[in-house]
Amino acid sequence: MTGPRLRRCARSCSTPATGATTPAPSAPPADSDHFVTLKDRTSFANRERADLFVSIHANAHRMAASEGVEVYFLSSEATDSAARQVAATENSVVQLEKPATGRGGGRSADIVKTILWDLAQSEFQAESSRLAETMLDTVTHALRIPNRGVKQAGFYVLGGAAMPAVLVEIGFVTNPREEKRLKDSAYQDRIAGAVLAGIKRYLAQNPPLARSKMAAK
């Protein structure tokens, strides 16, 4: 899901240890709409030494009645078949990033290997799980929409993040009622505010400096 409001939120959500919000200096302009490859998203966050990585998406399902918010963190084992399908749908975007080369399955195999390697190197799964719980609780209460739970799956966009990282599926574009809300500018403001509130709540409970000291022990 894109939109100037959510992009503005994304640019101000990298909070350094001082507690002040700082716009990312080399991020795309907040009033523009640029496609950033999945790999480059976490690379950018790592380069800017962000405290958290939050990827915001709109969900879809063959059942139009599906509704609500769910939050994911990275894992090689999906919570269930539905979580596996959501990850597969989100990961399929990588096929649009570069022309396919070599044998057909090579790109998908590389994605799987990357995810497994990232998991082996990750120090942030427990923190990502806590961030997901905090984000889900904050967003569902703020927006008063159904809570679909915290789940885990192999999302390529979360791979390589050297920080707690989550993916928020903020609603279903396949649900006519939710699609209408997601297109509404006032509701987009509420989404941005709810996501930012979740980030602030998590950072208040898990200060970056405290995490750094724990990692150094």
Class of domain 4-216: alpha beta
pTM over cut 0.85: no
Residue 130 Rama label (left phi>0; alpha psi -120 to 50; beta)? alpha
**pLDDT given at position 178:** 96
Residues 19-77: pLDDT tens digits?
Answer: 333 334 345 555 556 667 767 787 888 888 899 999 998 999 989 999 999 999 987 66
How many residues are recorded in the chain? 217
For the beta carbon of residue 201, count every other beta carbon within 10 angstroms.
Answer: 15
Query: How deeply is 163 buried, as exposed, middle or buried, from its count of CB atoms within 10 A (0-12, 13-18, 19+)?
Result: buried
pLDDT single digits (tens) 94-121: 554 554 444 444 555 566 656 665 555 4
pLDDT at 1: 44
Contact 152/73 with Cβ under 8 angstroms? yes
* 80 or 18, higher pLDDT: 80
